[in-house]
Amino acid sequence: MIKTALLGHPLGHSLSGAIHTAGYKSVGLDGKYDVIDVPPEKLKETIERLKKEGYSGFNVTIPYKVDVKKQLSLWDMLVDYAGCTNCVKIKPNGEMYGYNTDIYGFTEAIPEEMRAKLEGKKALVLGNGGAARAVAVALVMMKVANIDFRVRSLEKSAELKGLMDTKFKKTTCRMVQTLTDVSEYSIIVNTTPLGTTGENKDKMPIATSLLEKANKSAIIYDLVYNPTETLYLKTAKDLGLYTIGGLDMLVYQAQKAFKIFTGKEPDFEQMKNAALRYL
80 vs 120: which has the higher pLDDT? 120
Is residue 181 pLDDT above 90, yes or no? Answer: yes
pLDDT mean across residues, the chain: 95
Q: How confident is the model over 208-252, as pLDDT tens digits?
A: 999 999 999 999 999 999 999 999 999 999 999 999 999 999 999
| pLDDT classification of 83: cutoffs 50, 70, 90 | confident
Catalytic choice (51, 65, 143, 167): 65
* Topology, domain 110-244: Rossmann fold (3.40.50)
* Residues 119-130, mean pLDDT to the nearest whole number: 95
Is residue 279 pLDDT above 90, yes or no? Answer: no
**Angstrom distance (rounded) from CA 126 to CA 150:** 5
**Nearest Cα residue to 134 out of 65, 197, 74, 198:** 65
In CATH, the architecture of 2-99+248-278 is: 3-Layer(aba) Sandwich (3.40)
**Nearest Cα residue to 192 out of 104, 123, 132:** 132
Is residue 204 pLDDT above 90, yes or no? Answer: yes
* Residues 184-211, mean pLDDT to the nearest whole number: 95
* Residues 193-210, mean pLDDT to the nearest whole number: 94
| pLDDT classification of 116: cutoffs 50, 70, 90 | very high
Beta pairing class for 74-75 and 31-37: unpaired
Domain boundaries, the chain: 2-99+248-278, 110-244
Q: What is the pLDDT of residue 203?
A: 96
CB burial of 262-273 (b: ≥16 within 10 Å; e: otherwise) equals beeebebebbbe
> 65 catalytic, yes or no?
yes
Q: What is the pLDDT of residue 10?
A: 87
Most confident of 63-77, 158-172, 244-258: 244-258
pTM for the full model? 0.94
* Residues 27-38, mean pLDDT to the nearest whole number: 97
Q: Do domains 2-99+248-278 and 110-244 have the same CATH topology?
A: yes
SS3 content of the chain, % helix, strand, coil (to 5): 40, 20, 40
**Angstrom distance (rounded) from CA 7 to CA 24:** 19
| 29 touches 1 (CB < 8 A) | no
Q: Name beta bridge partners: 8.
A: 37
Is residue 13 pLDDT above 80, yes or no? Answer: no
Residue 148's Cβ-side half-sphere holds a number of Cα atoms within 13 Å equal to 18
